[in-house]
Amino acid sequence: MALRLTQRLLQTQTPFLTRGYPMLVTKEKSEDVAHTKSSLQKKVTRTDIPSAQYGGRHAVTMLPGGGIGPELMTYGNDDLDYAITSIKRNGVALKGNIETKSQELSEVSRNVAIRNELDLYVNVVHCKSYPGIPARHQDIDVVLIRQNTDGEYAMLEHESVPGIVESMKVVTVENAERVARYAFEYARQNNRKKVTTIHKANIMKLSDGLFLECAKRVHKDYPELEHDNMIIDNTCMQAVSKPHQFDVMNMTNLYGTIVSNVLCGLMGGAGLISGRNYGDHYAVFEPGTRNTGTAIAGKNIANPVAMINASIDMLNHLGHKEHANVIYEATYQTIVNDAIRTPDLGGNHSSTDVVENILKILSAKRVNWPHGNYFNQL
């Protein structure tokens, strides 16, 4: 549903991902091995591939995901290999969260597999409050920079002896340094003042200690920026009590999941904020908290704003900044000024009501497009 806005702008390439995906790990497992990295999770060095264009328009891959994902976008049925191939071809994707329900050891998280295969090493979530939305705190403006492929999500587990399972947390100098550099560079380019590295180095002295040390080393190249660090459990308390102290946050994978959900919850819930995943060659845009919303699927009450904001991020990434801006303004007017809000934001409107109001606002806009004015045709 939310993608109706961008489908009017782009010639969309749309492979889909649902339950019919292939097994991603080898079946040759001994009984004491709980998880093994597959070829889909191994980093591969590639030459740069530009975003695909056909007939002068960008092609993007769309993955509806599970739960409320198909409601907010559209429907389809293809497997994971095809989806990843499509993203490699197009360079850009828009996706809902893809839920991995099975606890079978042979089933890999499809979200993790996509991020690892495409080497989407950084996730960016800009937590910025909307005025008037019921929330625990107002005027939050924090950017979360999350390492996307290392850490607890390395998916390397084994049962050393019956009844004892070991799970490996992997932190590498390469990935810790490049996500730290991304955080500091983001702060510099966006006139931010401070980067806070989140860790648990007091307990995990080697892994989180390495992550923290890499951040301190990178900070030397950005002397105009302040850098401090905070332990993850204290971070959660501080985020709930005094979120305005944070500016840009640099953190590992699991900590990023925790903090993004905390901050989005403080701002009004999972339905507002988008997330951006970047690698050297590919970019994938999605809702910021990666929740599937299975409990409200099919009820036409899911908040489409996070998915629309992901579409706006994608348009900005592709250079269609004018179009991204008018969609953002229409979305902002809908939920802030017109108070057209789904139940999660204290309203009583449906998903369709929100999207139709945005389309009504856009119908009065005229935006320059290489093939002529476009929004006046909505």
Dist CA 220 CA 73 (whole Å): 44
Is residue 139 a contact partner of residue 270, using CB atoms and an 8 Å limit? no
Closest CA to 362 of 307, 323, 316, 336: 323
Report pLDDT for 99: 65
Dist CA 69 CA 101 (whole Å): 15
Closest CA to 64 of 302, 233, 265: 302
Report pLDDT for 63: 86
Dist CA 160 CA 322 (whole Å): 56
Dist CA 378 CA 374 (whole Å): 8
Dist CA 304 CA 133 (whole Å): 15
Longest dimension (CA), the chain: 67
Give the predicted TM-score (pTM) of the model: 0.80
Dist CA 329 CA 14 (whole Å): 26
The structure tokens 């050393």 sit at 160
Report pLDDT for 119: 92
Dist CA 299 CA 293 (whole Å): 11
What residues form DSSP beta bridges with 226? 194
Q: How many CA atoms lie within 13 A of 10 on its CB side?
A: 30
Q: Which residues of the chain carry a pLDDT beneath 70?
A: 1-51, 55, 65-78, 99-108, 290-298, 368-378
Report pLDDT for 136: 86
| Pair type for strands 122-128 and 92-95 | unpaired
